[in-house]
Structure 1
Amino acid sequence: MEGAKEKIILNVGGIRHETYCSTLHTFPGTKLCRLTEPHAHSMYEYDSSTKEFFFDRSAELFGYVLNYYRTKHLHCPADTCRSVLEEELAFWEISDAQLAPCCWLKLNNKERQPEEFNMWDENELADDQCLIVQMERRDFSWRARWQPKIWAIFEKPYSSVGAKCLAVVSLLFIIGIVIIFCEETKAQFDFFAGNFTIVSHSEVTHVVHELYYHQAPYLLHLELFCVLWFTFEFSMRFCFCPDKKKFLKNPLNVVDFLSLFPVYIELFTAKQIQKMPTLGLWLGSVRVVYLLKLLKISKLIETPLILRVLPYTLKSILREICILLMVLAFETLFFGSLFFYGELLGIHPSFTGDLHFTDILICFWWALITLTTVGYGDIIPLTTFGQVTAALAAIFGMLTIIIPIPIFLVKFKGYYAIAISKQKLKMSRKQ
């Protein structure tokens, strides 16, 4: 084996490979290079009759390994699992860092997403694991015995018949309070629209709207009845939840907590609201959280897979979204400032119309609306320079919005394909 042109035979997985010893010398220190040493036949499995070394390894992957010694470019099959490839390269004492860029990117795109997506399974099983821990406790107090059952009744609608009935009752209360909220705003709108006076001074007519907060008593009582149910429900869920820190971090639970305050505050400050109508309006604005409670309907129906994948897709491109917002903010400041000074410098001295861009902050508003291609038309360019600036802002706005779309689609397609495969795997295991 000392000659450079001497041949060596390798039997890997039943397939014979024949090459030169000089080829194996390409990468000193590796296992294949040590096969060319005089005492290699005593260190490895060597058949003296056929004069070949035998290795019970993957014959397909070894073909790529041997080709690496011949061309100094390491590639891999298209359908290779990364863990299998790493194990095979480690056996032949080759670093996976030597992998060609094309195959490196291919493996990263196929393997990085499943690792990130495993967090989804952990989040889905988190609550169940907490319940299992509660069941395995050796504390035989009444709270330890009843906590998993009560938590399941309030949080798992399909765990029992009682949980289904409770979920339906809760849904009816949510729908009811949303209807009450709409009726309250309708009554207030009609009241404010009709309450105005006309004052004439020097043939100038001014319409003055008198703010006076009005709340129908029966609507307030119905709202209080619904909120009392929500208070009971929130208290029970908070008292019997397995992990209170995780419970308070849930956005829907925060919405439930905030929705308890407006009606109670209004009951205790009824006289002050009559003197300070703005306080009543603020309480009315807080009642918008009632609409967010409708998101709880997702617990009663199976959330479509596409909606479950979407949050993880957005989380994976959070960095790209932040960069996009930074670029959009810069373009808003740049084109807004350019539009402001360009219009003022280019306006004709004899112009007698009203200027809509007297403040640079208004121009920033115009730039943002133009960049997002909304174009309200409340502020329009009056000069040639302003029109050119508006055209450039619209073009850059479209490019800023269109360019990140392929990134989102690629990410979403990868996550969705993985989710489909996971779902099929679960169904096959159940069968």
Structure 2
Amino acid sequence: MEGSKEKVILNIGGVRYTTYSSTLRTFPGTKLCSLTEPHAPSTYDYDPTTKEFFFDRSAEIFSYVLNYYRTKHFHCPVDTCRSVLEEELAFWEINEAQLAPCCWLKLHNREVQPEEADIWDENEQTDDQCLIVQTERRDFSWRTRWQPKIWSTFDKPFSSFSAKCVAFVSLLFIVGIVIIFCEETKAQFELFAANSTSVGYSEASHNSHEHFYHQAAYLLHLELFCVLWFTFEFSVRFCFCPDKKLFFQNPLNVVDFLSLFPVYIELFVAGQIQRMPSLGLWLGLVRIVYLLKLLKISKLIETPLILRVLCYTLKSILREICILLMILAFETLFFGSLFFYGELLGSHPSYTGELHFADILLCFWWALITLTTVGYGDIIPLTTAGQVTAALAAVFGMLTVIIPIPIFMVKFRSYYDIAIFKQKLKRRKKH
């Protein structure tokens, strides 16, 4: 206790600092910590008369170093040269990675708010880790012993060799059902084409040429085989998941659940499809959920840093995106209405042609396509007033789209710098 209250006097470039030896022991292995050892007076420049250690170093930066030992948070002055700071930290045997994110970004000429520096947390636990953790369980039943292993096998592809095999088999089934989905669209298109050509027939002719939805039986059997595997996989993962609520909060698990229904529904209403061919098309639309299962491939590869930063950036500017969409909606309504009445009122009385729109809703469609600079050309202005309106819509559309881009780039660059710093910090702490 007395040793911890022992005071140590440091003379840094002519400026005296007094602190407790317990403060200098905060970070073992550093130069300041070695000053508390018995052989320190013989190792360093020690004056027995004044009982102080002398170092001919920068007193300004040392004040921040000493504050780091007191608070365990290392900050630096704003006007410090990066090279000088690195040299001082190397002398005091302090890792640069201990520098606070806000000050690290200042040294790299990046102005960031403190709350922005905290948004990127590489140390946060993933959903998988939270689900695997078992807290204070005393039950030694077979389910308790096997639950983490089975869950890891079916949900963490890189946890074991068996998990890799299960992930590879699931990937084959996903690719297979996507191919089957593409093959099934041929029959659906043939049904639509046949019904379209029969519209011009007479009523009697149409009744004698009724078209039905005929799907190849082998495709339905293959689809059923794939879905049976998905049903087995989903059931195992759901049964052995420690937290059911957290399980369904994952969008990929919701997609897995929804993908089980289309083929079962088609088997259940097979007779109805013959009488209602459009039902087959609706079931085909529902099968698009199979394509969403391809997102599970992201679990087999590490998400690139730039994509993770992009997600954080979009979350941070969500408010600005909503405001942009509101402005775009207002411009669509305004220029669409202006175009509608400009074309009607500006038309010459002798004009006998037909306008490219029938109502104001089509003008709204034209305005949206023009504002987004797509310009299909399906609706074009024929009058002077319409052309002026189209020119204004194109200019305002460019401004609406271009102005937010610098805001997005500044945010993205800021978060990217923070992410790079966090990764460097994580690597240095491992070493």
- State the TM-score, normalizing by the size of structure 2: 0.72
Distance 1:211 1:400 in 2: 49
What is residue 77 of structure 1 aligned with on the other side?
A: 78
Please give the alpha-carbon distance, in whole angstroms, between the structure 2 residues aligned to 1:189 and 1:123. 47
User: What is the alpha-carbon distance in structure 1 between the residues aligned to residue 118 and residue 199 of structure 2?
Assistant: 68
2:327 aligned partner, one-letter code: V
Pair 1:223–1:414, CA change in 2 (3 A): same
Using the TM superposition, give the Cα deviation of residue 276 of structure 1 relative to its aligned residue in structure 2, in angstroms: 1.2
Aligned-partner SS, 1:133: coil
Distance verdict in 2 for CA 1:129–1:266, change over 3 Å: closer
Structure-2 residue corresponding to 1:121:
123
Which amino acid is 2:416 matched to? Y
Task: State the SS of the aligned residue for 1:109.
Answer: coil
**Equivalence for 1:392:** 392
Matched residue, 2:325: 325
Structure 2 residue aligned with 1:349: 349
What residue in structure 1 maps to residue 427 of structure 2?
A: 427
Matching of residues 128-139 of structure 1 within 5 Å:
128-134=129-135, 136-139=136-139
How is 1:102-117 mapped onto 2 (pairs within 5 angstroms)? Answer: 109=112, 111-117=114-120
Mapped pair 1:168 → 2:168 = yes
Letter in 2 for 1:281: L
Find the aligned partners of 1:186 and 1:61 in 2 and give their Cα distance: 75
Q: What is the rounded CA distance, in whole Å, between the counterparts of 1:288 and 1:264 in structure 2? A: 15
Shift of 1:178: 0.4
Question: Quick one: distance in 2 between partners of 1:404 and 1:396?
Answer: 13
Seen in structure 2, the aligned counterparts of structure 1 residues 211 and 339 have a Cα distance that, compared at 3 Å, is farther
Amino acid at match of 1:113: E
Q: Which letter maps to 2:124?
A: E
> Which letter does structure 1 place at the counterpart of 2:334?
F
Please tell me whether the aligned partners of residues 187 and 213 of structure 2 are also in contact (alpha carbons under 8 angstroms): no
Q: 1:311 to 1:211 in 2, by over 3 A?
A: farther
CA distance, structure 2, for counterparts of residue 198 and residue 305 of structure 1: 54
| Pair 1:184–1:109, CA change in 2 (3 A) | same
Q: CA deviation at 1:193?
A: 2.9
Relative to structure 1, is the Cα distance of residues 382 and 285 closer, same or farther in structure 2, using a 3 angstrom cutoff?
Answer: same
The structure whose RCO (Cα within 8 Å, separation 6+) is larger is 2
Matches of 1:127 and 1:79, distance apart in 2: 43
CA 1:291–1:316 in structure 2 vs 1: closer, same or farther (change >3 Å)? same
| Gaps in structure 2 of 5+ consecutive residues | 1-9, 17-49, 51-57, 65-75, 82-105
Aligned-pair CA distance for 1:123:
4.6
Q: CA-to-partner distance for each residue in 1:58-103, whole Å, 9 max, x for gaps?
A: 735989xxxxxxxxxxx951569xxxxxxxxxxxxxxxxxxxxxx9
Runs of 4+ in structure 1 deviating by more than 6 angstroms, as ranges, are none
The separation in 2 between residues aligned to 1:270 and 1:257, in whole angstroms, is 22
Tell me if structure 2 keeps the 8 A contact 1:335–1:389.
Answer: yes
CA displacement 1:138-184 (0-9 Å, x = unmatched):
22222222111111111111100000000000000000000000011
**Superposed CA offset, 1:272-316 (max 9, x none):** 111111221111001011111111111112221111221111111
Deviations 1:4-38 (A, max 9, x none): xxxxxxx9965569xxxxxxxxxxxxxxxxxxxxx
Following superposition, the deviation at residue 337 of structure 1 comes to 0.8
- Map 1:188-227 → 2, pairs under 5 A: 188-194=188-194, 196-197=197-198, 199=200, 212-227=212-227
8 A Cα contact 1:12 1:62, kept in partner: no
Distance 1:387 1:78, change over 3 A: farther
Equivalence map 1:262-301=2 (5 Å): 262-301=262-301
Give the alignment of 1:293-312 within 5 angstroms: 293-312=293-312
1:258 aligned partner: 258
Percent of aligned pairs with the same amino acid: 71
Q: Which residue of 1 aligns with 2:241?
A: 241
Cα distance, 1:111 vs. partner?
Answer: 2.6
- For residues 209 and 122 of structure 1, the distance between their equivalents in structure 2, rounded to whole angstroms, comes to 63
The answer to whether the Cα contact below 8 Å between 2:131 and 2:241 also exists between their aligned partners in 1 is: no
List alignment gaps of at least 5 residues for structure 1.
1-10, 18-48, 50-56, 64-74, 81-102
8 Å CA contact 2:194–2:211 kept in 1: the answer is: no
Query: Aligned-residue CA RMSD in angstroms?
Result: 3.0
Q: 1:272 to 1:360 in 2, by over 3 A?
A: same
Tell me how many residue pairs correspond in the alignment: 341
Tell me how far 1:107 sits from its aligned partner: 8.8
Q: Distance in 2 between matches of 1:423 and 1:209?
A: 67
Measured in 2, the distance between the counterparts of 1:274 and 1:349 equals 53
Mapped partners of 2:175, 2:317: distance in 1: 35
Q: Which amino acid aligns with 1:122?
A: E
AA aligned to 1:121 is N
Q: For residue 185 of structure 1, what is the amino acid of its counterpart?
A: T
Other structure's SS at 1:379 match: coil
SS in 1 for 2:179: helix
CA distance in 2, matches of 1:267, 1:228: 13
**C-alpha separation in 1, matches of 2:123 and 2:352:** 66
Q: Distance in 1 between matches of 2:230 and 2:212?
A: 29
Match of 1:29 in 2: none
Letter of the 2:115 partner, please give it.
R
TM-score by length of 1: 0.72
In the alignment, what sits opposite 2:406?
Answer: 406
Amino acid in the other structure paired with 2:227: V
